[in-house]
Amino acid sequence: MVTESNAVKPNRPSALDETLKIFSEKWTFAVLQELFFGVRRFDDFQRNLDISRSVLTTRLNHLVTYEVIRKVAYQDRPKRYEYKLTESGRAMYGSFVLLKQWGERWLNTGSAGELVLIHDSCSKKLEAELVCLHCGKPVSAHNTYPETIHGTP
């Protein structure tokens, strides 16, 4: 059971964790962040997140159940496993980036030891914005409106 009292206290500071202290169940997204940082193995998740083995097991199984990650054997004797993002898991990258970026912008994070993202194409610290796939123009709360999907047969 995840409650607000057992908040994430990772070993390395993280803007995303700051964001999720406000918005969100923390461990699941914290595990997802580690996956985006390249972590694959149980002991590495545990060390980076300073999380109990039982909570980590629950969170990993939760993500496996929803097919956001899959468990893959990388050694036979003894059998050992690692966790890899599926296609839908990788598709969470944009949400992860924007939640992290929000924390960086609004919660005065950015301390030594924190990981930032570098964009290959320009080698700069990533600053991302959302644009429309149809017209290429920026997306904000000011230039969109909600509409109801009408009933289907």
Q: Hey, what amino acid is at 135?
A: C
For a second copy, the closer of residues 24 and 46 by Cβ is: 24
Q: Are 96 and 103 in contact (CB under 8 A)?
A: no
Cβ 68 to a second copy, closest distance in Å?
Answer: 7
Record the tokens describing residue 63, joined without a space. 């993500």
50 vs 80, which CB is nearer to a second copy? 50
- Asked whether 31 and 59 are in contact (CB, 8 A), the reply is yes
Q: Do 15 and 34 meet the contact criterion of CB atoms below 8 Å apart?
A: no
Residue with smaller CB distance to a second copy, 70 or 97: 97
CA distance 38 to 36: 5
What's phi and psi for 2, nearest 5 deg? -105, 125
Identify which of 49, 103, 108, 44 has the alpha carbon closest to the alpha carbon of residue 74: 44
Residue with smaller CB distance to a second copy, 78 or 136: 136
Minimum distance, C-beta of residue 76 to a second copy, in the bound complex (Å):
29
Q: How far is the CB of 40 from a second copy (least distance, A)?
A: 14
Q: Which is nearer to a second copy, 80 or 119 (CB)?
A: 119
CB of 73 to a second copy, least distance (A): 23
| Smallest separation (angstroms) from a second copy to the CB of 13 | 9
58: Cα separation from own chain's centroid: 16
